[in-house]
Homo-oligomer: A and B are copies of this chain.
Amino acid sequence: MPTASSSPSADTPAKRMRRKESRPSELLAAALDLFVEKGFAATRVEEVAQRAGVSKGTLFLYFPSKDELFKAVVRQTLAGRFHEWSDEVDSFTGSSAELLHYGMHSWWERVGNTQASGMTKLMLSEAQNFPEMAAFYQAEVVQPYHSLVQRILQRGVDRGEFAAVDLELATYAVTAPLIFLAMWKHSVGTHPCTASVLDPLRYLDAQVQILLNGLRVRPAPA
């Protein structure tokens, strides 16, 4: 340890360099928080930069505009998680009722109860102003999600566990409570006075039960 060259002395660019790689993701995380919290228009880029610990100008080194920052947030938050979930469905060994229950609770744990669900709200709210983004969201998020749910339902039908209902409608039936929870969490759910009224987990359990009743679930044939 001859010289303490690694210590961040006054002008050492070490600190900057060290974090250069992570700057975009830090900015995206800050932007996600603020967009979800305040909406797109009400969020100022300077706030995003501050929360990410950089200056306003730096943000524009990584994202050419506020619009592009928004698109990047959507892409990062929602892309590339369906592959993993699809594998889980494929390798699931329990009953389809259990799979449906597992899937919906998984969604809550991994999406609904995280900032990611804020993006759902954000897309639904601001999609109109970003047609390009809406198309992207439709193709990269809505469609994969839809397929995934349909595969779960089809599995139940194929195995004789679910009645042969209209899969399209049933998919929406699954989706509605998730949308509802996402919206609830990020709107009225943020007010303390109303926050304790709805227990999301109990609500999800009840929804699964209703859905299964609606699907006239039967035990897997022996």
A220 within 8 A of B: no
Copies of this chain? 4
Give the contact stretch, choosing among A46-54, A72-80, A83-91, A194-202: A194-202
List, in ascending order, chain B residues with CB within 8 A of A128's CB: 37-39, 187, 190
A14 within 8 A of B: no
A61 within 8 A of B: no
* Known A124-B183, A138-B194, A179-B183; contact A129-B39, beta-carbon cutoff 8 A: yes
Interface residues in A, total, Cβ within 8 A: 50
Taking a contact as CB atoms under 8 Å apart, the answer to whether A187 and B138 are in contact is no
CA distance A9 to B188 in the complex (A): 45
CA distance A183 to B216 in the complex (A): 28
* Known A128-B190, A134-B188, A187-B124; contact A166-B38, beta-carbon cutoff 8 A: no
A207: which of B123, B138, B165, B173 is its contact (CB, 8 Å)? B173
